[in-house]
């Protein structure tokens, strides 16, 4: 119930921001969708290894400024990975799936004139875990039973603006572990390819 209330509250807040920002000069707002390719990493590669799986991103973005700008974003993200764990001398495989609300706050530089420009952007990301699905094979492994509600990462990449359309290629690296077990960390890394549309 709390998860649904959080999503509803964020939707209402975003709607209010969209309505207010239309009257502020130098502010852009738009929609974004992306395909991502993610995996779960551990500091101890002998215990946990994983392969990349595809996921999604969908949400909104705002931009304040011009050549030098601040760009906060808010989107729903699906992240997944097929993990292999060494437990009692045996290799155990299962899927890990997370749904998160991600809030990147990017600082960027825009190079170009008029409707065509290139961008370089980077900044921190806060992720709030709203749902998780862990494969049956991991049910008896303690490190996969208790996850934090939030995690932090850093992201950066390049983009292009063509009129009202946006495209971005980014890499995101987890800074904090999703697991509450500090000894056996689980950090998310991902590549994303996104497209966006400026509403105004």
Domain of 93 in residue numbering reads as: 2-198
Domain count, the chain: 1
Q: How far apart are the first and last CA of the chain?
A: 34
Residues 6+ apart with CB under 8 A from 184: 42, 44, 47, 48, 143
Q: Please state, in angstroms and rounded to a whole number, the distance separating the CA atoms of residues 80 and 56.
A: 10
Q: Please state, in angstroms and rounded to a whole number, the distance separating the CA atoms of residues 53 and 50.
A: 9
CB 198 within 8 Å of CB 60: no
Output the CA torsion sign for 99, 55, 135, 87.
negative
- Give the DSSP letter string of 107-142: EEEEEEETTEEEEEEEEEEEEEEEEEEE-GGGTT-G
Q: Please state, in angstroms and rounded to a whole number, the distance separating the CA atoms of residues 21 and 72.
A: 13
Q: What is the pLDDT of residue 20?
A: 52
Q: Please state, in angstroms and rounded to a whole number, the distance separating the CA atoms of residues 40 and 188.
A: 5
CB 101 within 8 Å of CB 74: yes
Q: What is the pLDDT of residue 82?
A: 86
State how far the alpha carbon of 115 is from the alpha carbons of 61, 120, 165, in Å.
18, 16, 9
pLDDT tens-place values along the chain, 200 residues long:
455 565 555 555 555 555 454 545 478 999 999 999 998 888 766 678 888 889 999 999 999 988 899 999 999 999 988 888 877 777 888 888 999 999 999 999 999 877 899 999 999 999 999 998 888 878 767 667 678 899 999 999 999 999 999 999 999 999 998 888 777 788 999 999 999 999 98
pLDDT digits (tens, 9 = 90+) for 52-96: 889 999 999 999 988 899 999 999 999 988 888 877 777 888 888
Residue 73's domain is classified under what CATH number?
A: 2.40.160.20
User: In 3D, which of 167, 101, 91 has the Cα closest to residue 130?
Assistant: 101
| Predicted model pTM | 0.84
């Amino acid at each position: 119930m709390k998860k649904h209330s959080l999503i509803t509250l964020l939707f209402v807040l975003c709607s209010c921001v969209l309505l207010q920002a239309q009257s502020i000069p130098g502010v852009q707002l738009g929609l974004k969708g992306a395909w991502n390719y993610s995996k779960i990493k551990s500091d101890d590669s002998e215990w946990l290894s994983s392969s990349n799986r595809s996921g999604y991103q969908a949400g909104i973005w705002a931009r304040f400024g011009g050549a030098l700008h601040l760009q906060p974003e808010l989107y729903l993200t699906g992240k997944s990975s097929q993990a292999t764990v060494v437990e009692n001398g045996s290799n155990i495989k299962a899927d890990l799936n997370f749904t998160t609300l991600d809030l990147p706050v990017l600082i960027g530089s825009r190079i170009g004139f008029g409707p065509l420009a290139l961008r370089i952007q980077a900044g921190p990301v806060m992720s709030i875990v709203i749902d998780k699905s862990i494969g049956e094979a991991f049910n008896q492994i303690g490190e996969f039973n208790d996850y934090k509600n939030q995690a932090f990462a850093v992201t950066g990449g390049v983009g292009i603006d063509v009129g009202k359309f946006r495209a971005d290629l980014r890499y995101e690296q987890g800074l904090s572990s999703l697991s509450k077990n500090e000894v056996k960390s689980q950090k998310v890394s991902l590549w994303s390819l996104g497209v966006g549309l400026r509403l105004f």
